A and B are shown apart, each in its own frame.
Chain A
Amino acid sequence: MTPAGLLALLPLICLGAAAVLVMLLVAVRRTYTGAAVLTLVGLGAAFLTLPFTAGANPHRLFLLMLNGYTAFYAGLLVLAAAASVLMSFSYMSNYLQNREEFFILLLLATLGATVLAASDHFATFFLGFELLSVSLYSLIAYPYMTQGHIEAAIKYLVPASVSSAFLLFGMALIYAWSGQMEISRIGFQLRSIQSHAGHQWMIAGLSMIVVAIGFKLALAPFHLWAPDVYQGAPAPVTAFIATVSKGAVVALLLRLFTPADIQTGATLFYVFSLMAAVSMIAGNLLALLQNNVKRILAYSSIAHLGYILVAFLAGGARAIDAVTFYLVTYFIATLGSFGVISALSSPGREMEDLADYRGFSRRNPWLTGVFTVMVLSLAGLPLTAGFIGKFYLALAGVGAALWTLVIILVLTSTIGLYYYLRILVALFVAAPEGLRPEPPFSYSNTFLLALLTFLLFWLGVMPTPIIALIRTMVR
Chain B
Amino acid sequence: MNILFYLAAIVAVISTLMVILEFNPVQALLYLVVSLLSIAVIFFLLGAPFAAALEVIIYAGAIMVLFVFVIMMLNLGPQSAEEERPQHPGRLWFGPFLLSAALLAELVFVLRGGGGAVLHEVSPEEVGMALFGPYLLGTELASMLLLSGLIGAWHLGRGFRSAHWSKAGEKEEGLL
Contact = CB atoms under 8 A, between A and B. Distances in A.
Interface of A: 1, 9, 16, 19-20, 23, 61-64, 94, 96-98, 101, 104-105, 108-109, 111-112, 115, 121, 123-124, 127-128, 130-131, 134-135, 137-138, 141-142, 144-145, 346, 348, 437
Contact of A96 (B138, B145, B154, B164): B164
Interface stretch (B5-13, B69-77, B114-122, B165-173): B165-173
A75 B113 CA distance: 57
Interface centre among A16, A124, A127 (most CB of B within 10 A): A127
B171 to A, nearest CB: 11
A-B pairs with lowest CB-CB distance, top 5: A138-B152, A108-B148, A127-B141, A123-B138, A135-B148
B152 A130 contact: no
Interface centre among B144, B151, B161, B174 (most CB of A within 10 A): B144
Interface stretch (B25-33, B49-57, B94-102, B129-137): B129-137
Does more than half of chain A's interface fall in helix, strand or loop, or is it mixed? Answer: helix
A141 B164 CA distance: 18
A32 to B, nearest CB: 13
14 contacts: A9-B137, A62-B137, A64-B137, A96-B166, A108-B144, A108-B147, A112-B145, A124-B138, A127-B142, A130-B145, A138-B148, A138-B155, A141-B156, A348-B172
- How big is the B interface, by class? 20 to 34
A127 B151 contact: no
Contacts of B136: 1
Contacts of A20: 147
A62 B134 contact: yes
B144 A63 contact: no
Contacts of B84: none
Contacts of A137: 152
B160 A145 contact: yes
A165 to B, nearest CB: 12
A105 B141 contact: no
Given A111-B144, A131-B145, A134-B149, A142 B138 contact: no
B140 interface: yes
B155 A101 contact: yes
Contact of A134 (B152, B155, B161, B164): B152
Contacts of A142: 155
Contacts of B138: 63, 121, 123-124, 127
Given A61-B137, A134-B149, A145 B164 contact: yes
Nearest to A138: B152
Contacts of A135: 148, 152
B116 to A, nearest CB: 21
A447 B171 CA distance: 32
